[in-house]
């Protein structure tokens, strides 16, 4: 199978010859792992930790959904630095992230439909950001190229 010719500058590659991940990819991972980040922040701020979690997740079920659906993004932070060692895992991880983000978007939309119209504006903003992040994961050409195996 012949690959399309992509033109990237030499500065776009790291010392291992892999295409550097775009800055927006890191923003997508932070967005997707937001429950994990909040959980770590709550653990670090001992006395205010429970209040912080209660503020953002008054429903504990949504917190556990967030932990579960953010797990692929949290693992992606670990895998990114060693992607040259696990090329098969890395190649499919974009789809794992997209599936997780799609599921999170679906859960958010279903939660929004079940509410009585008093949804906080933050929920709508997060739904829009999740949809944009999913589009970015699926459509950005440079990001798609980052997940391809290196050319020999």
In this structure, the number of other CB atoms found within 10 A of the CB of residue 119 comes to 14
Residue spans of the domains in the chain: they are: 19-146
pTM for the whole structure:
0.85
* pLDDT single digits (tens) 66-116: 999 999 999 999 998 888 888 899 999 999 999 999 999 998 888 888 876
Q: pLDDT tens digits, residue range 115-142? A: 766 667 778 899 999 999 999 999 999 9
Phi, psi of 13 (to 5 degrees): -110, 150
In this prediction, residue 152 carries a pLDDT of 44
Cα angle value 131/126/36 (rounded, 5°): 105
Average pLDDT over residues 23-33: 94
Average pLDDT of the chain, as a whole number: 86
pLDDT at 137: 95
């Amino acid at each position: 199978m012949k690959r399309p010719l992509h033109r990237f500058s030499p500065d776009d590659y790291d010392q291992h010859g892999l295409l550097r991940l775009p800055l927006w990819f890191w923003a997508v991972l932070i967005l997707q792992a937001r429950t994990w980040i909040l959980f770590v922040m709550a653990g670090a701020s001992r006395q205010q930790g429970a209040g912080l979690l209660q503020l953002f997740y008054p429903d504990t079920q949504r917190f556990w959904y967030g932990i579960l659906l953010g797990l692929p993004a949290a693992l992606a932070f670990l895998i990114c630095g060693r992607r040259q060692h696990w090329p098969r895992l890395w190649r499919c991880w974009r789809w794992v992230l997209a599936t997780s983000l799609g599921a999170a978007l679906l859960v958010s939309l279903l939660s929004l439909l079940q509410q009585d119209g008093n949804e906080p504006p933050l929920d709508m903003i997060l739904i829009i950001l999740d949809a944009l992040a999913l589009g970015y994961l699926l459509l950005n050409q440079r990001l798609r190229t980052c997940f391809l195996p290196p050319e020999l």
